[in-house]
Amino acid sequence: MHKKKYLIVNADDFGQSPGINRGIIRAHEHGIVTSASLMTRWEAAAEAARYAIDHPQLSVGLHIDLGEWAYRGSNWMPLYSVVASLDDEQAILKEITEQFATFQRLVGRDPSHIDSHQHVHLRQPVRSAVLHIAQTLHIPVRDCNSPAHYCGRFYGQTAEGAPLRGFISSEALIEILEGLPEGLTEIGCHPAASVDLRTMYCSERLAELQVLCDDQIKARIEALGIELCSFAALPGECCAAELPPIKIY
């Protein structure tokens, strides 16, 4: 018997700028975005949180922010840093705890899931600090204990920031949709209505928004029998109560 295919489309960087907020909201209201991850340290975070409170059908998680790095001249250079060192376990735990508390204050509830800017939560000691909080509250963490298989293919750059032409297109997203495995998948995305901040990922955000709101994407999802859902409204067979045990290493 074949299992059904479920899909969470999660927009990262909610709250980082007004342009990103508008893009995520448009992709939710007129596209296929079902979930977002909130960056709590930015001035637009309060605006994003107000939208989340008024629109509970948009699942909102915590997008942990410890800085952003760009690949320049064969080296990784910080565009900004939140902690002095990514090896300082105590400073990292303190910062993550503060961002978690800010999320609770802004949104009025716990995050539905946790991930991070540039996937920094996958490296130690950040990973242990994140899982320390997640384990207590039984919150899914991307690529750690989440019930969703994570797909990061809808992205317009290599790991070093070189452009990947054709990766942000309706055709490319349809190809991803057609290859989804059975069960629950999370596709990450980064839409924006305007580029109004310094970041290594700029024009690609505008292209993502167009694709996410393309009517042929919605039609293909329906034709393939894929059910859109979110971390806050998982189907019964993917219930968060059945999260696999967290491994801390």
Copy the structure tokens of residue 231. Answer: 């971390």
pLDDT at 172: 97
Question: What pLDDT is attached to residue 226?
Answer: 98
**HSE-CB of 208 using CA atoms within 13 angstroms:** 33
Q: Name all domains of the chain by residue range, CATH numbers in brackets.
A: 5-242 (3.20.20.370)
Q: What does the pLDDT average to over 65-93?
A: 90
Q: Is the CA virtual torsion 229, 234, 238, 244 positive or negative?
A: positive
Q: What pLDDT, on the 0 to 100 scale, is given for residue 248?
A: 37
What amino acid occupies position 123?
Answer: R
Whether residue 242 is predicted with pLDDT greater than 60 in this model: the reply is no
Mean pLDDT (the chain, rounded): 92
210 Cβ neighbours under 8 A, 6+ residues apart: none
Looking at the chain, the whole-number percentage of residues with pLDDT higher than 90 is 80
- What's the pLDDT score for residue 160? 84
* Whole-number percent of the chain with pLDDT over 70: 94
Q: Write out pLDDT tens, residues 126-167.
A: 999 999 889 888 999 999 999 999 999 999 999 888 889 899
How far is Cα of residue 15 from the mean position of the Cα atoms in its chain? 12
Catalytic residue, chosen from 12, 13, 65, 115, is 12
State residue 200's pLDDT score.
86
Residue 237's pLDDT is what? 59
* Catalytic-residue membership of 87: no
Q: What is the pLDDT of residues 113-134, one digit of tens each?
A: 999 999 999 999 999 999 988 9
Binned at pLDDT 50, 70 and 90, residue 53 comes out as: very high
Largest interatomic CA distance in the chain: 52
pLDDT at position 190 is 98
Which pLDDT score is estimated for 1? 40
C-alpha–C-alpha distance, residues 49 and 47, integer Å: 5
Question: What is the b/e burial string over 13-46, where b = at least 16 CB atoms within 10 angstroms of the residue's CB?
Answer: bbbbbbbbbbbbbbbbeebbbbbbbbbbbbebbe
d(CA 1, CA 3): 7
pLDDT digits (tens, 9 = 90+) for 192-209: 999 999 888 999 999 999
pLDDT for residue 201 = 92
Q: What is the pTM of this model?
A: 0.93
